[in-house]
Amino acid sequence: MRTIAELMNLRDRKALVVGGAGGVGSAVCETLQEMGAVVGILDLKGGKTGLSFICDLKNEEATGEATEKAISEMGGVDILVHCAAYVGETKVPGWSVPFENQTTTAWNDAVTVNLTSAFVLARTCWKSLEKSGNGSIILFSSIYGMVAPNFGLYEGTSMINPAAYNASKGGLLQLMRYLATLFAPKIRVNAISPGGIVRNYPEAFTKRYEAKTPLGRLAVDEDLKGAVAYLASDLSEYVTGHNLIIDGGWTTW
């Protein structure tokens, strides 16, 4: 029987982290590197560490080309993590505005980045992951892919929870289930659904959110490291089609 240390060892495995330059993505990259993996970052901004592949996920052709380049330069992919997303703080017209002002242009762009790009990446990486023998895909969804927003949290603030964010994150969970059965038994596919993560939020929102969270606080990026370590490694060798919720108990109510 292997030890825990052996099961979580990612030495010589190659991980491609999509959206690896953001807060969540940085925690993902740090985790995988600490476990011994070679990490490539595919992001609009490029990456701070590891191999960097710049790509606009709104462009399907460019996404496919950048992914193929990453696979070639890295010598294959064993782990694919998708954590790129339009979020509430994303600054684009027609996005983080009242519902009646949310535009189909912003909707389409968000769905493309949050959901369609995950499909494109999985399709492009499929054969490389299959050859790996340790193939693992992790899709980052959200509690808002599972439950509706509590709009009372945002009263008196400028915060908005856009409709397309919720729809795309829900779609990611069903894509995860689809891929988990399609790619089995050679590739495992799972999701991580975080709750609210500490950012520069208004104090009123933070107090309301924490009051409704059993563990009494927002998450920090570090809270995601254990989930990533588990799903990326052989610690979860018999786990596929699972949504790992990291929300401090928010969805337990």
By the 8 A CB rule, do 197 and 219 touch?
yes
Confidence of residue 46 (pLDDT cuts 50, 70, 90): confident
By the 8 A CB rule, do 205 and 157 touch?
yes
Confidence of residue 211 (pLDDT cuts 50, 70, 90): very high
Give percent above pLDDT 90 in the chain: 93
**To the nearest 10°, the Cα dihedral for 126, 134, 227, 82?**
-20
Please state the domain count of the chain.
1
Looking at this protein, which amino acid is placed at residue 28?
Answer: V
Looking at this protein, which amino acid is placed at residue 110?
Answer: A
3-state secondary structure of 180: helix
3-state secondary structure of 22: coil
The answer to whether the pTM exceeds 0.85 is yes
pLDDT at 103 exceeding the cut of 80:
yes
Q: Residues near 3 by Cβ (< 8 Å), separated by ≥ 6? A: none
Looking at this protein, which amino acid is placed at residue 27?
Answer: A
Residues counted in the chain: 253
Domain enclosing residue 203, as ranges: 4-252
Average pLDDT over residues 220-248: 98
The residue with tokens 């899709």 is 139
Confidence of residue 49 (pLDDT cuts 50, 70, 90): low
Average pLDDT over residues 13-17: 98
- Given its phi and psi angles, is residue 249 left (phi above 0), alpha (psi -120 to 50 degrees) or beta? left
> Which CATH number does the domain housing residue 186 bear?
3.40.50.720
Q: What is the largest CA-CA distance in the chain?
A: 58
Angstrom distance (rounded) from CA 78 to CA 104? 36
Q: 18 - beta bridge partners?
A: 42, 82
Which pLDDT value is given to residue 91? 86
pLDDT at 50 exceeding the cut of 70:
no
| Tokens read off for 192 | 């991580």
Q: What DSSP state is assigned to residue 156? A: T
Which pLDDT value is given to residue 89? 81
The residue among 186, 192, 196 whose CA lies nearest residue 244 is: 192
Region of poorest pLDDT, from 87-101, 183-197, 220-234: 87-101
pLDDT at 202 exceeding the cut of 90:
yes
The residue among 167, 153, 164, 57 whose CA lies nearest residue 102 is: 164
C-alpha separations of 133 from 36, 102, 201 in Å: 17, 44, 42
pLDDT at 27 exceeding the cut of 80:
yes
Q: What DSSP state is assigned to residue 145? A: G
